């Protein structure tokens, strides 16, 4: 994932290009370390809304840590894989710019490997709207650790989109959120001669190549693996997981225009133990 201009047609095409390679994406992309997921959400069990959840790489970890998770993903093919991977999660097709949740209804909004695709002028107000007072937005990216020479060569082949977390600056400069905290975590991904092909196929740049370009690119990736891999023992790719979180600025509910009635929206969520769906539009 790369471009920082989600309003352009070319970027929109790339943002929506993953569905065709959803299975490869699920097999080839790394997971997120448990400690990073815990830091993103923070504290005890929470009601979490994950935007652009993809195939559920982070979703699975959040559920395993005991959170009540709801997921949105605009691509139906990616969503189908998520529903298979994490069947206990309610997942809906939706974008970050139009979130199907009531005002002040979730504790945390999480975005993994996708915030750079959002239109921040539309998405940030939506995210602030659905967060409870004291709730926070959490962003995360897995980035290969290119301090290692052979990992830099892999970046030459696969691209360095995942190293760019600059879109988090939109939160820094937003008056809807407070101070942005940062944390990093290290982990490794084990891949072999087959899964490195899935990794290559999962890139947005690959998804928009023509067939001849794809064939040439995959041949280059296999040649790289043959040089640097360990045969049947595979390859261990080092990652730095970069995390950001910021608390939503509290809006005073009592501040209404003269003559206006106070908002009746209120949270849809009680304590996360209801048998009914927690978010009205997630039925």
The closest alpha carbon to 41, from 110, 129, 126, 97, belongs to 110
pLDDT tier, 179 (very low <50, low <70, confident <90, very high otherwise): very high
% of the chain with per-residue pLDDT over 70: 81
Give residue-wise pLDDT tens across range 244-270.
999 999 876 534 433 443 333 333 333
Q: Are strands 131-144 and 106-112 parallel, antiparallel or unpaired?
A: parallel
Question: For residue 100, what is the DSSP state?
Answer: -
**Whole-angstrom Cα distance, residue 137 to residue 245?**
5
Q: Does residue 2 register a pLDDT over 60?
A: no
Q: Does residue 115 register a pLDDT over 60?
A: yes
Who contacts 159 (Cβ-Cβ below 8 Å, separation ≥6)? 2, 203, 205
CATH number for the region 9-144+160-188+238-249 comes to 3.40.50.150
Residue whose entry in the numeric block shows the structure tokens 């949740």: 101
Domain ranges (residues) in the chain = 9-144+160-188+238-249
Question: Averaged over 28-48, what is the pLDDT?
Answer: 94
DSSP, residue by residue, 187-238: EEEEE-TTHHHHHHHTSHHHHTS-HHHHHHHHHHHHHHHHHHS-GGG-EEEE
Q: What is the pLDDT at residue 229?
A: 80
Average pLDDT across the chain, whole number: 83
Given a contact cutoff of 8 angstroms between Cβ atoms, the answer to whether 56 and 86 are in contact is yes
Q: Does residue 113 register a pLDDT over 90?
A: yes
Given a contact cutoff of 8 angstroms between Cβ atoms, the answer to whether 240 and 208 are in contact is no
**Whole-angstrom Cα distance, residue 263 to residue 259?**
12
Lowest mean pLDDT segment, chosen from 37-51, 173-187, 188-202, 255-269: 255-269
Helices (H) and strands (E) in the chain, counts: 11, 7
- pTM for the complete prediction? 0.82
pLDDT tier, 20 (very low <50, low <70, confident <90, very high otherwise): low
Residue 100: what are its φ and ψ, rounded to 5°? -85, 60
Question: Averaged over 22-34, what is the pLDDT?
Answer: 87
Residue whose entry in the numeric block shows the structure tokens 């101070």: 179
């Amino acid at each position: 994932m790369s471009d920082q201009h989600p309003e352009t047609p070319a970027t929109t095409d790339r943002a929506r290009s993953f569905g065709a390679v959803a299975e490869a994406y699920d097999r080839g992309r790394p997971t997120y370390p448990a400690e990073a997921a815990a830091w993103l959400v923070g504290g005890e069990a929470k009601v979490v809304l994950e935007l652009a959840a993809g195939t559920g790489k982070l979703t699975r970890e959040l559920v395993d840590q005991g959170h009540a998770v709801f997921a949105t993903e605009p691509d139906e093919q990616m969503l189908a894989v998520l529903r298979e991977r994490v069947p206990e999660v309610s997942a809906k097709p939706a974008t970050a710019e139009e979130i199907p949740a009531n005002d002040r209804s979730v504790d945390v909004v999480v975005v993994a490997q996708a915030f750079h695709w959002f239109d921040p002028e539309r998405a940030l107000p939506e995210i602030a709207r659905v967060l409870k007072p004291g709730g926070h937005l959490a962003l995360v990216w897995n980035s290969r650790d290119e301090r290692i020479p052979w990992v830099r060569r892999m970046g030459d082949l696969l691209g360095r989109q995942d190293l760019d977390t600059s879109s988090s600056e939109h939160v820094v400069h937003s008056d809807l959120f407070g101070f942005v905290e940062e944390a990093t975590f290290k982990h490794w991904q084990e891949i072999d001669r087959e899964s490195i092909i899935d990794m290559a196929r999962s890139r947005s740049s690959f998804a928009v190549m023509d067939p001849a370009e794809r064939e040439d690119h995959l041949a280059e990736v296999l040649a790289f693996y043959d040089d640097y891999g360990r045969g049947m023992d595979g390859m261990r790719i080092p990652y730095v997981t970069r995390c950001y979180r910021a608390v939503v600025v509290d809006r005073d509910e009592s501040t209404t225009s003269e003559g206006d009635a106070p908002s009746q929206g209120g949270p849809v969520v009680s304590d996360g133990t209801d048998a009914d769906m927690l978010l009205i539009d997630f039925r």
